[in-house]
Each structure stands twice: as C-alpha cells, then as structure tokens.
Amino acid sequence: MAEPRAFISFDVDNNSNEKMLFAGQAWHSKTPFSHEDWSAKEPMAQSQWENLVKAKINKTHLMIVLVGKHMSTATGVVKEIAMAKAQDVPYFGVYVGGADANSTLPVGLARNRTIPWTWDGVAAAVTQMMGEGKNKK
C-alpha cells in the first residue's frame, strides 16, 4: 500500500501557523503518511463547507487533529471529528502551539489519543491508526 493519506484538522483562527509548520515539516520527515492542503481557500456557506470537508475526509485513510490552546472555540474541528467518526476514518490528536495534557480537547477527541508533537510519536500513531477503522483489511 502507498503511504496513507491524512486529513489535517486544525483551528483556522488560532493554529494556522502551526498547521503550516506541521504540514511543511511532515513532507521533510520520515513520517509514514502523505497529505494535501485541503483548507478552504475562500468563505462559503456552512452546508457547502460541510459537504466539501466530508468528501475530503472520505478520500483519506486517517485524520490528524492539531490541538492548540483554544480548542473550546474550534467548532469546525469538532464537526470534522464527527465526520471522521461517521465515515469510520480513524483519528488522533497532536498538541501544538503550547498546548499540553492540561489543555481543553475538542469534543470527540480522547486524551489517550492525543500526543506531544514528535515525529517518532506521530509515525507510531499513524501506524496504529492504519490498523483501525475502514483501513483494516
């Protein structure tokens, strides 16, 4: 199997810089996944955004949720987690932007599925996720 494709979920209002760093460094690390920049490039109606994101998540093997300090206001992230769960796409979280085990998690993301940002840890989590959900074969 080719490298699994990952959807990267993040709080666009507070963690866009961390998302750019994470995505950029992922291309240059030995992480066992690929990704594309599927961020919405322009404002759109909520229903259009939901349909677009649902289709994008469905094209991936897993979702990585970047967990920043302001997750309680990240309603889009909560919706993306729910979409991944509904489509049987496994997901895990990575603390970014100074967030840690004491930070608020978005609804639907378990603390035991959220890790510090190390590439070895991300690689291990990706490997674990590939044994779950619709990816089991």
Mind listing the pLDDT tens digit for each residue in 92-114? Answer: 999 999 999 999 999 999 999 99
> Helices (DSSP H) in 15-74: which residue ranges?
16-28, 46-58
> Does residue 66 form part of some domain?
yes
The token pair that represents 136 in the structure block: 């089991």
pLDDT at 136 over 50: no
Say what the pLDDT of residue 68 is.
96
pLDDT one-digit tens code per residue, 14-68:
999 999 999 888 877 777 777 776 666 667 788 888 898 999 999 999 999 999 9
50 in any annotated domain:
yes
Q: Using the predicted structure, report yes or no on whether residue 3 has a pLDDT greater than 50.
A: yes
Residue span of the structural domain in which 59 resides: 5-22+46-135
Q: Tell me the average pLDDT across 59-82.
A: 93
In a domain, 86, yes or no: yes
CATH code assigned at 54:
3.40.50.9200
In this structure, are residues 69 and 95 in contact, taking their beta carbons and an 8 Å threshold?
Answer: no
Q: For position 98, what pLDDT does the model report?
A: 94
Query: Of the candidates 41, 38, 74, which has an alpha carbon nearest to the alpha carbon of residue 57?
Result: 38
Q: Sheet of 62-67: strands edge to edge?
A: 34-35, 5-9, 62-67, 91-95, 114-115
Whether residue 112 is contained in a domain is answered as yes
Structural domain count, the chain = 1
> What pLDDT is attached to residue 2?
67
